[in-house]
Structure 1
Amino acid sequence: MITLKTAHDIELMRKAGKIAAAARALAGEMVKPGVSTKAIDRAVHDFILGQDAVPSFLNYNGYPASVCISVNEQVIHGIPGTYRIKEGDIVSIDVGAVYKGYHGDCAATYTAGECSEEVKNLIKVTRESFFEGINFARAGCRIADISHAIQSYVEKNGYSVVREYVGHGIGTRMHEEPEVPNFGTPGHGPRLIPG
């Protein structure tokens, strides 16, 4: 069931999201050859705690770190460790923060140093597809309108979407309804309303 949010809920979620986004930006600045994924995790962990928040991911369903750091072919949920980032690595950073009981969650992909034009284009199309979907995240649209916009943009640019994982709602729980796949048929799924 989708839980509608009050103005107060949204205010706290926005603050949690800003903390998560700032932590993600910090992590992105650290994506350089020679830096271990564990060092990034520690820095993000300390940053989030310094904002009077708590990392959402730490101990979530047994997850042992504060950040998900996925390198190269890892799609999501990579566990930080001793791996040292190498020149040309593709590094996805996924950060969550809990502030006053509300979660914020965000992710971005970075490259370490120089990378190929193909990698640059993949990251560009992925980011742009996110915003294509956001265009449909408004009252009156349906969940699959968001999904279809993402899928259409990605496929128009010669790529395919990952079908095994989905976006999701957020609030007092890190994963809430609705699920938002990266593919779909427009006009299907729940209709979005304010809140």
Structure 2
Amino acid sequence: MSQGLQPSVSTVLLLETDPSIRRMITLGLRHRGLHVIESISLSTLSARDVQKLDLLIVDVDDGIRCDRAMLEAAQAHPQLSALPTVVLSWEPLIEQKDQQVAVTKPFDARALHAGIDQLLLARSAAQIQQLQQAEALLLASYAKHTAPSIWPAITAAGVLLVVIGLLLQFAITIIGLLVIVCGLLLWTIGSHTSVEKPELSLTVGK
């Protein structure tokens, strides 16, 4: 298996009515590490099985005649239609769609496996690209909503000016109170000095 694939994760749906061919294909794919879900009809699939599928293999032959009913049903299915598909048939496909590989019977197992590897690698690359695009959109959205703004800086400057103004006002008030206290003290000391001087002069005269 190619190193870019993850066999333990990849799940293949095999739609094959012939039990011997179905068993042969299943054994080969499981030997390569793929998880295989076998079915003879889409009606037997559960919703849980459909959700974990990575690839679809459809045999469009019913005996010696070509019957595309199962392929058309898969292409019309809302979830299966987006899956890469390997088509097995006795006759080459006249029209081949995107994400589709045709393998003509009787086929060599190596041709089938090469087609599966090709489709799974393409699917893996597409998923990685979608993930990268989603991450890029998320980062762009984050950068847009977290772009630097001058308003927080302006707000902080305004708060700083208010604090400085309050501190200056408080300092001026303290200085004014100190001036008042000093003035009162000096006034009180001067009053006491002027009262005591006449008494001293009377004592000296006697």
TM-score, length-scaled by structure 2: 0.22
Greater Rg over alpha carbons, structure: 2
Greater share of residues in helix = 2
TM-score, length-scaled by structure 1: 0.23
